[in-house]
Amino acid sequence: MRLGSRIVTFVVVPGVIPLVLLAYMAGKIARDYLEDTMRRAHVEVAVQLAEGVGRSLDDLERVLAAQAGNFQLDVATDEARSAFLVATWRLFPEIAIAALVDSEGQDLVAPVYAGTAEEAGAHDHVDAQRLANFQGAWAVPTGPVSRGEPYVPAGSAAAVLPISFLSPHGDGLALYTEVSLRPVARQLARVAGDDRVAVLVDRDGEVLVAAGGGPGIDPVRLVPVLRSSSSDARVDDEVIVATAAVEGRDMAVVVTAPASFIDQAVDGVRRPTWFIGLVALLAMAVGGRIIGKSITEPVNQLRAAAQAVGEGDLKQRVRLTTGDELGELGHSFDQMTERLEGNLKEIAEKSAIIDRYNRDLERLVSERTAQLVETQEQLVQSRQLAAVAEMSAGLAHELNNPLAGVLGLLQILKQMRAGQADAAMLKSAEEQALRCKEIVGSLLRFTGPPRGEGEHERVDLGGIVKDVVGLAGSAFRQRGVGLELDCEGREISVLAHPDELGRALSQVLAALRGVAAPGSTLSIAAGRVKGEMVARAEVRFAMEAVVDNDDDWRASALGLWAARQVLVTHEARLDEVQVATGRAWRLLIPLAPGAS
């Protein structure tokens, strides 16, 4: 870690830890307090709603009980009984169905209900299935007021509560009603909202009436609370749940709200705390930065100057004027560099004198070495050329005399056997002997001094190639090697000695024939080279396949060497070129002046 970063860290860290602990403890205390406050507030709301629901249901039951006792329904006519049911049904919008039943459970008159939506008004619309479910749920009254189990009819948004009222004027005659809990929803809606839910549930936690929107209720969690008479509230990870039992009934009011209410309130405490902490932290960081900068800037100047001195720049000076220990260190550094600069100048002067002597000595050694190398190369080349010339001359002289004797004998035999069957064979032998004599003569010429430029004349390279290929064709056919010739249609003019150039080309073909694989083809093409600054003609030799015999290749190399000695006098060269398959050689010779 850099020095400035350490200074800032040592200043900031001791202040950050208390600020973080302070913010954490403030948030925790605020959360505990707010959670307890929110829990108590929601319990109070649930209790008030439960009391209101209980009072409204109790008031309805008292009025209906009095209604059933005020009329002597046992002696009334059916018209009077029907009028009683209609009046009761219209008087109380909460009643969805009203019926008079005897002790046998049979209707005394037709039940009253809204059979169509147009008749319903403030009442629930009751279809035939709902009426049948209501009649099937009748139970024998056990007292002046008997309550059935609440249930939610199909297609209804609110539950209903079956209540029967036993008439004191008849043997078992009772008023049966199905009371809708929709009015309870209006009471719940007064405290519900977009993020708060108020519901009425039964003892099993099933929702009877609900109002508002927000987090849902898990009935399983509510069962233990609903079966106790006390009110309670709890805070989970997501919701605040408060419950209050409806007195005298197996129902309870549940109020839920998001737990984010608490988080929002806690954030209201934490934000100012964190803001104050960040301001204090920023102040400490700025202070630490200022202190660190007053130390690190001189140190960085000293470091940069030391690096420059290490790289050879002895003119570096820091000139620190801080007036403290760092200023004294900078002054000592400047004195040290001044002494080093003086010593370096003295060393440089002496080194320059030594370097001058070394350069002169190195130049003399290089000149002498170059002269020795050149002399040695000339000696080696002269010895090699002399050895080759001596060997060639010796071979030519040794072979020339017996070859002349063989040639004479063949000519005598050819005259003696004229007209005989073997005359043709003797003629062929004479031609081969003459060929050997020409080769020996070429070797003797190669060992002699090269011809002058005055002996060269303007010749057609394509014509010479055609003549040489024509003479060598029989030798290639005997070996089983094909020859293909491709020359330009127009003249290819070069300056050359026609005999020597022809012999050189013959020597090249003879050398290539010795290494050509039987059954392969040697392609020869003559033409002009394009795209070069010096106009040149080209003869390309390409073989499909070659032999692997080392002796054949050594003989071929000797023949190519002999051909190159002749080509040198024509300012031509013979090089091997790289091809994808087989082997290829390229002969380049300058075109004659004016040739295009």
For 270-282, give the DSSP string. HHHHHHHHHHHHH
Distances in whole angstroms, Cα of residue 275 to Cα of each of 20, 272, 282: 12, 5, 10
**Would you say residue 76 lies in a domain?**
yes
The domain that holds 95 is classified in CATH as: 3.30.450
**Would you say residue 230 lies in a domain?**
no
**Would you say residue 368 lies in a domain?**
no
Q: What is the per-residue pLDDT for 560?
A: 82
Order of strands, sheet of 482-487, starting from the edge strand that comes earlier in the sequence:
482-487, 521-529, 536-543, 583-590, 573-577
**Would you say residue 459 lies in a domain?**
yes
**Would you say residue 192 lies in a domain?**
no
**Would you say residue 324 lies in a domain?**
no
pLDDT band at residue 200 using 50, 70 and 90 as cut-offs: confident
Q: Which of 176, 211, 237 is the last residue of a domain?
A: 176
158 and 152 Cβ atoms separated by less than 8 Å? yes
Lowest mean pLDDT among 106-120, 276-290, 331-345: 276-290
Q: Which of 114, 148, 176 is the last residue of a domain?
A: 176
Q: What is the dihedral of CA 35, 41, 47, 51, to 10 degrees?
A: -170
pLDDT tens profile 421-451 = 777 787 778 777 777 776 666 555 545 554 4
Q: What is the per-residue pLDDT for 532?
A: 64
Tell me whether strands 482-487 and 521-529 are parallel, antiparallel or unpaired: parallel
Distances in whole angstroms, Cα of residue 499 to Cα of each of 81, 438, 495: 154, 11, 12
**Would you say residue 284 lies in a domain?**
no
Tell me the C-alpha distance between 336 and 287, whole Å.
35
- Ranges of H-type helices in 71-120: 78-91, 117-120
pLDDT band at residue 111 using 50, 70 and 90 as cut-offs: very high
Tell me the pLDDT of the chain averaged across its residues. Answer: 78
Whether the pLDDT of residue 116 is over 70: the answer is: yes
Lowest mean pLDDT among 222-231, 277-286, 541-550: 222-231
Q: Please give the tally of structural domains in the chain.
A: 2
Q: Which of 142, 176, 210 is the last residue of a domain?
A: 176
For residue 12, the enclosing domain spans 3-176
The domain that holds 531 is classified in CATH as: 3.30.565.10
Q: What is the per-residue pLDDT for 531?
A: 64
**Would you say residue 401 lies in a domain?**
no
Residue among 182, 200, 179, 187 at smallest CA distance from 246: 200
73 and 100 Cβ atoms separated by less than 8 Å? yes
